[in-house]
Structure 1
Amino acid sequence: MKKKTFIIIYIYIVPNSIFVFIIIIIIIIIIIFILNIYSFRVYQINPEEKKTVFVFHHGAGLSGLSYALLADYLKGLNNNQCGILCYDCRGHGKTYTSNDEDLSLNTLSQDLVNICTTLYPDPTTEFILVGHSLGGAIVANVASKQMLKKIFGLIVIDVVEGTALESLVHMQNVLMGRPTSFKSEAEAIEWSITSHTIRNIESAKISVPSQLAKINGKTGVRYIWRANLTASEKYWEEWYQGLSEKFLTTRAPKLLFIASPDRLDKPLTIGQMQGKFQMEIFPECGHLMNEDAPEKLATVLNEFYNRNKAFIPKRFVIPLRPTEHATAPPKK
């Protein structure tokens, strides 16, 4: 009975090209829908040889394009020796998942691991994890738990556990102080500069549009914030709880960028005095250091790589047969 039904359908479809066309369109729509349910927007620069990869995780409300200028400078300084990977985390930018509201520390950490292992399946790939603000908490969590096999470096940009937790009580007021929508992307870019959120117009032109979502309202087209940070409040404390310990106990070489040494908490102050990590201070920058001074940060990142690459174990091809070397006859 089933076989007969299949044959009847097959005979009916073939002569009707319009019906076939409609079926194909429906299938394509279903495929696109499935892909959009779980798809991450990735920005990638592949090196000549996939040995070491810088993986950048952005802060809350931002996108992978907040590293656009920094990545470009780093590629030039590094002569394309290292790969560069930036991406929009879930609920941000052009990334869409089946649950964009799940911004828990474990979920965001696992997302990073899944992306890295998918794009770089070679188990010998070394990763240098770089994170700004929330991204710093994510990469520190991944590194401390050794969720990736080979972590060559851990770099955190302007986030410290003590000051981050203290500032959470003011975060809702900060979010309420932002415009809820803009008439155009240009207006949003202008606001980011005049509010001193970003201090680099070239970076703002690239990164700000990716933080917005276009909607058609009663008054016409408006641009709202893509990420719903207010709804993520329940995760704020867990993002930063234990961050200093995770950072300090990671075995890989560590680097901390901050705008002021006053932002260090007690564990990091002690750790810095003990020489447990490298610290770079950029007082001329705001919170978005990677956007305010991308060339300077890229220079430090490149120096960090060059200084520590000697500790990366070299990979040699093991010959199938041992090589015999001629030896001199023993002396009489």
Structure 2
Amino acid sequence: KAALFPVQAAYTDPATGVCFNTYYAPAGSPAAPLYVCHHGAGSSAMTFWCLARQLRDLAEGDDVPGVFAFDARGHGGTCPPGLRYTLADLAGDFAFVMREFCERHRPGNPVCLVGHSLGGAVLTEFVARFPDLDCNVRGLVVVDVVEDTAVRSLLQMAVFLHKRPRAFGSYGQAIRWHLQTRLLRNEESARVSVPELLVRGPGGGLVWKASLLDMAPSWHTWFDGLSRKFLACRLTKQSLAKMLVLSSSETLDKGLTIGQMQGRFQLVVFNNSTNAGHFLHEDIPRQVAATLSEFMRR
């Protein structure tokens, strides 16, 4: 992790007491893009490890992009847990993290916000609530989340959480479970991302860091109005390009379908790849990295 993300720091929000675990790989030049990434529910910043490496490997010369990622409240190395997890709370957290990051590093690079699943909803909410931000944000990329599908999946969330193992005997066992269930499909990425999801429990086994069931009272806020907000959100100081990246050809709702026909956002679907699941940025990181690079070049 340190080799890819040389700058690792804790950002403590005095308003909430939450201490955010952050990772930063600076860009090679002021003109290179900077990707600011937000993971989904139950995940961590290290879900973007393979994607970050591919983004940097694809670049040439001084065009090496920067990548910044962090663990959201109740996830990864961020503490303390046991707080509220509404979409408004999570967007407020991101606003603090973004302000703190910009104050510490003052990057002049063009910024692309990249959010996977719930992270995409958080970043959309953030842009909708803070349209006059000063961080040179030029792009918003939402990865594998469509409002109707996401809302339906929440209905199955409790069943999934009760069915999955509560603890693992080793990291290897946990990695194998993720690959065998096809939740993840890239062993290289799983070896980095899965250990970050677990912590040694009182009984000696490895248990989940993020308690998704504790977040259940907030689930209904996560994707409510996402399509409308994604289409409507804009910045006051510069134009904002938007892209929706999906792992399969999900049915877009009427608003998104019309918006795409009007050219209000770019749609990329990887439905021809059997190796791309919900965590497509982990499963096919090179293809997703190429898509992001091309998006920022435009």
Within 5 Å, which residues of 2 pair with 1:1-332? Answer: 38-50=18-30, 52-79=33-60, 80-97=63-80, 99-121=81-103, 122=106, 126-146=110-130, 148-149=133-134, 150-217=136-203, 221-251=204-234, 252-283=240-271, 284=273, 285-307=276-298
Q: Distance in 2 between matches of 1:208 and 1:215?
A: 16
Q: Distance in 2 between matches of 1:73 and 1:133?
A: 20
Q: Max radius of gyration: which structure?
A: 1
Q: Name the amino acid aligned to 1:40.
A: F
Q: Name the amino acid aligned to 2:206.
A: Y
Q: Distance in 1 between matches of 2:107 and 2:189?
A: 34
Report the TM-score, using the length of structure 2 for normalisation.
0.85
Structure 2 residues without counterparts, runs of 5 or longer:
1-12, 235-239
- List 4+ stretches of structure 1 deviating above 6 A: none
Q: Distance in 1 between matches of 2:84 and 2:107?
A: 28
- Is the CA contact 1:211–1:225 (under 8 Å) kept in the aligned structure 2? yes
Q: Distance in 2 between matches of 1:88 and 1:263?
A: 30
Could you say if the C-alpha distance between residues 179 and 155 of structure 1 is closer, same or farther in structure 2, counting changes exceeding 3 Å? same
Report the TM-score, using the length of structure 1 for normalisation.
0.76
Paired residue secondary structure (1:302): helix
How far residue 126 of structure 1 moved from its aligned partner, in angstroms, is 4.0
How far residue 230 of structure 1 moved from its aligned partner, in angstroms, is 0.8
Q: Distance in 2 between matches of 1:48 and 1:281?
A: 30
How far residue 215 of structure 1 moved from its aligned partner, in angstroms, is 1.5
How far residue 50 of structure 1 moved from its aligned partner, in angstroms, is 4.6
Tell me the equivalent position of 1:25.
Answer: none
How far residue 293 of structure 1 moved from its aligned partner, in angstroms, is 0.5
Could you say if the C-alpha distance between residues 247 and 258 of structure 1 is closer, same or farther in structure 2, counting changes exceeding 3 Å? same
Could you say if the C-alpha distance between residues 243 and 253 of structure 1 is closer, same or farther in structure 2, counting changes exceeding 3 Å? same
Q: Percent identity?
A: 38
Paired residue secondary structure (1:190): helix
Q: Note the alpha carbon deviations across 1:2-45, whole angstroms, 9 max, x for none.
A: xxxxxxxxxxxxxxxxxxxxxxxxxxxxxxxx99x642111111
Range that drifts further, 71-80 or 297-306:
71-80
- Is the CA contact 1:90–1:100 (under 8 Å) kept in the aligned structure 2? no
Q: Distance in 1 between matches of 2:217 and 2:253?
A: 23
Paired residue secondary structure (1:41): strand
Q: Distance in 2 between matches of 1:253 and 1:204?
A: 31
How far residue 263 of structure 1 moved from its aligned partner, in angstroms, is 3.5
Q: Name the amino acid aligned to 1:189.
A: I
- Is the CA contact 2:30–2:108 (under 8 Å) kept in the aligned structure 1? no
- Is the CA contact 1:163–1:265 (under 8 Å) kept in the aligned structure 2? no
Q: Name the amino acid aligned to 2:59.
A: N
| Equivalent residue pairs, number | 269
Q: Name the amino acid aligned to 1:291.
A: E
Q: Distance in 2 between matches of 1:132 and 1:41?
A: 18
How far residue 236 of structure 1 moved from its aligned partner, in angstroms, is 1.2
How far residue 266 of structure 1 moved from its aligned partner, in angstroms, is 1.9
Q: Distance in 2 between matches of 1:146 and 1:39?
A: 22
Q: Distance in 1 between matches of 2:233 and 2:220?
A: 21
Range that drifts further, 197-206 or 113-122:
113-122
Paired residue secondary structure (2:205): strand
Q: Distance in 2 between matches of 1:120 and 1:82?
A: 16
